[in-house]
Amino acid sequence: MNNLLPLPVLLPLVGAGVTLALSRHPRIQRVVSTAVLLLVLAVEGFLVYLTDAFGPIVLWVGAWPPPLGIALVVDRMSALMLVVSSLVTLTVLIFAMGSDLEERQRETPVSIFHPTFLVLAAGVSNAFLAGDLFNLFVGFEILLFASYVLLTLGGTGERIRAGTTYVVVNLLSSLLFLVTIAVIYAATGSVNLAQLAGRLAELPDQLQLILQLLLLTVFAIKAAVFPLSAWLPDSYPTAPAPVTAVFAGLLTKVGVYAIIRTQTVLFPDSPLTGLLLWAALLTMIIGILGAVAQSEIKRMLSFTLVSHIGYMIFGVALASTGGYAGAIFYTAHHITIQTTLFLVTGLIERRGGTTSLSDLGGLAALSPLLGVLFFVPAMNLAGIPPLSGFVGKLGLLGAGVAAGTPLAYVLVAGGVLTSLLTLYAMAKVWNRAFWRSAPDGVPDREGTLTVRRGKIELPRGMVITAAFLVLIGFAITFIAGPLYSYAERAAGDMLLRAPYLQAVLPEGVR
């Protein structure tokens, strides 16, 4: 069964090559892309079953004996991340295909979009499967290369400017990551995570601390953890709706995954718990204060994205089974909900002609379905009982109370405040965009003031796809018990470390 491990990476790469060759046949491109992601999702669903039943699965690429070569590793956590990420990418792809031909050609040029999107999916999968730091670096670079292209689709000046910031920040973080890998290899003679688990412990404490800080800095940039998150709100809102949605749902979560993986495998007795707790608190509070101050929906959602990364870092910083379980559950939940909200925002922009709250109004009367599509995930993001957002936050806050330290209690209070302010931000959008009367006119794409009182048809495919993802997010509420139990088993394995280490490196191989 370990031969299944390369498929989540290889299938999208092969699909990217095929769709690129079919650039003059957009209909076939769409069929190929959808079929590839469906097959990948099926494989990853099977991996979830296998890892839960039998433990971590390892494949040494090229049949090199351990510890030589490249190891692909999947355990409960990475299998869950693979399934959620593929479900989201597939849904976003179908959403993009549901738009009318004119918009597809303008916003997401088909000949470029499909192969690049599949390369992005391959990079995300590779990062989740990486068993060594260098392959993790390769995964990041694959997805970042694809994201550079997707972010600037359409070639408008605004997108190029935002893309420049995104590219520069991520190139610097990638350079720092490469330097960190070189330093770690010079100190230990290995980049394999399982092998590093033993060798790093033999290094002087100060050197271990420096290496840990370097890795945390790299991944904090990619995860948009404060104070390294300023790049995100300016980068995401300018991209096409499908691109923004998949970025918001996935890219920062790969950084969170890397933090969880390296903290549990390499630094199980981290001396930086206090630092991570403060970073989590500041990420939550400053992010949500930025969201409250916004009058444009995409920027508001970008700030809430930063803010809710703080919940995940909170769970990591607790370094307990409850903390990691809450972080894993909340990551899976947030990928789905944040993607949904950005897709629905794309529909709001089509219906209202803008995403500026000062120019929107009356959408609940004009399009009741659109109101429902926004309201359900918005309340989920705010953590309203009994939705899955409430379950995830309750688990994290409970883990904070169980820790019993003064700083943990401060984080619990910060988490509650962030949730309340998230509710306020979502209510602000609902009140201005949906509930109040429509303004006399709104600016169209050319900046001309036009009246938006007539009926504007939303593409049926886009509405159905967004509704499907809303239902998926709502369905997580009904499987929250089994899913949280799965997250607790995953967290227990990571804290023990033995299942992962023994699967990658058999006894006697170090």
Answer positive or negative: Cα dihedral of 380, 368, 456, 448.
negative
What share of the chain has pLDDT > 90, as a percent? 56
pLDDT of residue 263: 92
pLDDT of residue 168: 86
Full-model pTM: 0.91
Give the three-class secondary structure for 266.
coil
Low-confidence ranges of the chain (pLDDT < 50): 101-102, 442-454, 508
pLDDT of residue 110: 57
Q: What one-character-per-residue DSSP string does 155-199 give?
A: --HHHHHHHHHHHHHHHHHHHHHHHHHHHHHHHHS--BHHHHHHH
Evaluate whether 122 touches 138 at the Cβ level (below 8 Å).
no
**What is the rounded CA–CA span in Å between residue 241 and residue 465?**
13
Q: Residue 453 CB: number of other CB atoms within 10 A?
A: 10
Could you tell me the residue ranges of all domains in the chain? 1-267, 272-478
pLDDT of residue 103: 54
Closest listed residue to residue 84, CA positions, set 30, 118, 124:
124
pLDDT of residue 250: 87
- 72's enclosing H/E stretch is strand 71-74
**132 beta partners:** 192
Evaluate whether 466 touches 370 at the Cβ level (below 8 Å).
no
Evaluate whether 62 touches 71 at the Cβ level (below 8 Å).
no
Evaluate whether 404 touches 410 at the Cβ level (below 8 Å).
no
pLDDT of residue 322: 93
**What is the rounded CA–CA span in Å between residue 135 and residue 4?**
18
pLDDT of residue 507: 67
pLDDT of residue 447: 38
